[in-house]
Structure 1
Amino acid sequence: MPTISNKGITMPQSPIRKLVPYAEKAKKQGKTIYHLNIGQPDIKTPQIALDAVKVHNLEVLAYTKSDGSEEYRTKIAHYYSLHNIHVNASDIIVTTGGSEALAFAFGSTMDVGDEVIIPEPFYANYNGFSVAAGVKVVPVISKIEDNFALPPIEEFEKLITPKTKAILICNPGNPTGYLYTKEEIQKLAKIVKKHDLFLIADEVYREFAYDGLVHYSIMQEPDLEQHAIMIDSVSKRYSMCGARIGCIVSKNKELMATAMKFAQARLSPPTFAQIASEAALETPQSYFDDVIDDYVKRRNTLIAGLKEIEGVRVANPKGAFYCIAELPVENAEDFAKWLLESFDYKGGTIMVAPAAGFYSSPNTGLNQIRIAYVLNEESLVKAVEILKEALKVYNAKS
């Protein structure tokens, strides 16, 4: 019998999606599932984006350019300029989601056996991208008691070896919701320049900054042009996760020429999705104002509810729409399965993402879950109530 590759065997399952079979079975049993496991906003996609696809006049659904249409990239550059990020269309390659942009970044900057330093917990698919590229993730642990702030820069310094090629951050953070300060970005800029590394920043949640805080991009940091690689996506910004349009942005010409080779190898990003994404750039600021106001209310409702549950500790997110909660259980994955298989409260249960999958350090985050507060406030209140009752029953049986 032919054998599966070691890379395939090593590829981790998604902690966000691997419990789906349990959820499907629970639904067939008549349970209402409150999905706190995945960052799929219930916010409506801007109508202008949907209409652009409906009223197109294409006669042939043809390839686009490998780096995306020039008109779209020019408009993206203009959008960035409104956020004090000054780049040209030539500094942008349109990708099939932020995921492909990350894959291009890994492929363009690292060889098999090289290392990337990432503050953990981090977006779980970073583990998958590293396995696919044959790259080793070197974690530097951020702590819930510090609200998942940037670890001391000395901790990064200790981990740098001749194999280190990049530092990767997500800002604001998935799964923590932490928003890096300008000072923290400047510390990272200093260390990557000192050691001649790339600084890759996944900034797909840029608009989602709360409590009067402002997102500071690595692309705004002076004298970082040869080191900075920004990853972006329309998925969360416009509630267009299914469009699968993102981009990789850098002023490093050699890096972008290399990424272009990967873009050519996969031919081109999807045409209809680019049409929708280009139209979405015309979305008025009022849309984002309303969305942010909504998410702040949801966050406040969720965090207040979680803090009332005995034994639960939760970090307070300042951006994105996630939080990490530490539960009074030994194994959050076992608890998450039990929630779907064996528990309901008033006919409902919750689906959460076990947080161990957001770490690369073994046996870390075993009692933590990631919660995505992408449901309306009423649903979040019900979800917290279910969690509270579930912990009582679960711990009573243990």
Structure 2
Amino acid sequence: MPSISNKGNSMPQSPIRKLVPFAEAAKKNGTKVFHLNIGQPDIKTPQVALDAVKNNAIKVLSYARSEGSEEYRNKLANYYAKNDIHVAANNIIATTGGSEALLFTIGSITDPGDEIIIPEPFYANYNGFSTASGVNVVPVISKIENNFALPAIEDFEKLITPKTKAILICNPGNPTGYLYSKEEIEKLKQIVLKHDLFLIADEVYREFAYDGEKHNSVMALEGLEQHAIMIDSVSKRYSMCGARIGCIVSKNENFINTAIKFAQARLSPPTYALLASEAALDTPQSYFDEVIEEYQERRDTLISELQKIDGVKVANPKGAFYCIAELPVDNSEDFAQWILEKFNHNNETVMVAPAGGFYSTKGEGKNQVRIAYVLNKADLKRCVEILKVALQQYNN
């Protein structure tokens, strides 16, 4: 029998999706499953984006430009300017989701065996993207005890080797909801300049910053023009996960010219989704104001309810719509499967994402889960009630 590649065998499963068969089985058995495992917002997609797909005069559904239409990229640059990020259309490449943006970025700046330093826990697919490119993730651990704040700069410096090509952060963070301060971004700026590295910032949750806090973009810092690479997406901002439109933004001309070659190799991003994404940029600020208020209330509800459960420790997110909770269990993956496979409370159960898959350090996050607060407040309260009962039964 032909063999599978070592790379294929090393490809990690998604902690967000690998328990789906157990959730589907529970549903077939008549159990309602609340999905806290995946960042799929229940917020309505802006009508202007949906109408752009429904009401167009396209006669031939042709290829888009490999880097996305100039109209879209110009409009995107105008959106960024409102957020103190001043770039031009030629600094932007539209991609098929933020995932492709990350793959193009890693492919453009690394060779097999190179290293990228990432504060963990981190978005699980960073492991997958790195594995696909033959790149080694070098983790620097942040802790739930200090709300997953940026580790000390000394922790980064001692990990830098001749193979290190970049530092990658997610801001605000998935899975932690951590929002980096301006001082922390400045510290990262100094270290990448000192060691001549790229600073990659996954900023897809930029709009979701709470408690009056401000998002600080790496693209807004002077002096990082040749080092900063921003990853972005319409998925979360406009509740358009299925559109699969993201982008790479950088002022480094050599990097952009290299990434375009990857974009050309996959031909183009999807034409209809580009139309929807361009139209979504006309969404008024009032939409975001309402969404941010709703998510902040959901966060407050979730954290407050979780803190009432004995033995549960939870970080307080300042952005995005995720939190990490530490549970009084030895193995959160076993618990997450058990709660789907062998438990229900009044014919209802919940699906969470075991947090071990958001770490690359073995053994870390083994008793943690990621919870996405993408359900309404009443459902979130019910989910925590189910979790409380489930933990009591599981531990007994």
Shift of 1:230: 0.1
**In structure 2, what residue type is equivalent to 1:9?**
N
Matches for 1:324-343 after TM superposition, within 5 Å: 324-343=324-343
**In structure 1, what residue type is equivalent to 2:217?**
S
Matches for 1:220-259 after TM superposition, within 5 Å: 220-259=220-259
* Cα distance in 1, alignment partners of residues 7 and 384 from structure 2: 39
* Cα distance in 1, alignment partners of residues 280 and 64 from structure 2: 18
* Cα distance in 2, alignment partners of residues 183 and 33 from structure 1: 41
Matches for 1:376-391 after TM superposition, within 5 Å: 376-391=376-391
Shift of 1:388: 0.4
* Cα distance in 2, alignment partners of residues 290 and 268 from structure 1: 34
Which residue number corresponds to residue 22 of structure 2? 22
* Cα distance in 1, alignment partners of residues 388 and 255 from structure 2: 49
* Cα distance in 2, alignment partners of residues 148 and 109 from structure 1: 27
| Secondary structure, counterpart of 2:329 in structure 1 | coil
User: CA offsets per residue over residues 141-166 of structure 1, 9 Å max, x none?
Assistant: 00000100000000000000000000
* Cα distance in 2, alignment partners of residues 66 and 167 from structure 1: 27
**In structure 2, what residue type is equivalent to 1:103?**
L
Matches for 1:153-232 after TM superposition, within 5 Å: 153-232=153-232
Matches for 1:38-57 after TM superposition, within 5 Å: 38-57=38-57
Q: Does 1:274 align with 2:295?
A: no
Which residue number corresponds to residue 113 of structure 1? 113
* Number of equivalent positions: 396
* Cα distance in 1, alignment partners of residues 185 and 33 from structure 2: 39
| Secondary structure, counterpart of 1:262 in structure 2 | helix
* Cα distance in 1, alignment partners of residues 327 and 261 from structure 2: 46
**In structure 1, what residue type is equivalent to 2:258?**
T
Shift of 1:385: 0.1
TM-score normalised per structure 2: 1.00
Which residue number corresponds to residue 361 of structure 1? 361
* Cα distance in 1, alignment partners of residues 238 and 202 from structure 2: 16
* Cα distance in 1, alignment partners of residues 36 and 87 from structure 2: 36
* Cα distance in 1, alignment partners of residues 227 and 104 from structure 2: 15
Which residue number corresponds to residue 10 of structure 1? 10
| Secondary structure, counterpart of 1:356 in structure 2 | helix
Matches for 1:57-76 after TM superposition, within 5 Å: 57-76=57-76
Shift of 1:346: 1.3
User: CA offsets per residue over residues 344-376 of structure 1, 9 Å max, x none?
Assistant: 111100000000000000111000000000000
* Cα distance in 1, alignment partners of residues 301 and 322 from structure 2: 13
Which residue number corresponds to residue 127 of structure 2? 127
User: CA offsets per residue over residues 9-48 of structure 1, 9 Å max, x none?
Assistant: 0000000000000000000111010100000000000000
| Secondary structure, counterpart of 2:282 in structure 1 | coil
**In structure 2, what residue type is equivalent to 1:242?**
G
| Secondary structure, counterpart of 1:159 in structure 2 | coil
| Secondary structure, counterpart of 1:129 in structure 2 | helix
* Cα distance in 2, alignment partners of residues 138 and 334 from structure 1: 27
**In structure 1, what residue type is equivalent to 2:185?**
I
Shift of 1:131: 0.2
* Cα distance in 1, alignment partners of residues 99 and 347 from structure 2: 36
Q: CA RMSD for the aligned pairs?
A: 0.3
Which residue number corresponds to residue 34 of structure 1? 34
TM-score normalised per structure 1: 0.99
**In structure 2, what residue type is equivalent to 1:223?**
G
| Secondary structure, counterpart of 2:179 in structure 1 | coil
User: CA offsets per residue over residues 242-292 of structure 1, 9 Å max, x none?
Assistant: 000000000000000000000000000000000000000000000000000
* Cα distance in 2, alignment partners of residues 346 and 378 from structure 1: 16
| Secondary structure, counterpart of 2:74 in structure 1 | helix
Q: Percent identity?
A: 73
| Secondary structure, counterpart of 2:158 in structure 1 | helix
**In structure 2, what residue type is equivalent to 1:100?**
E
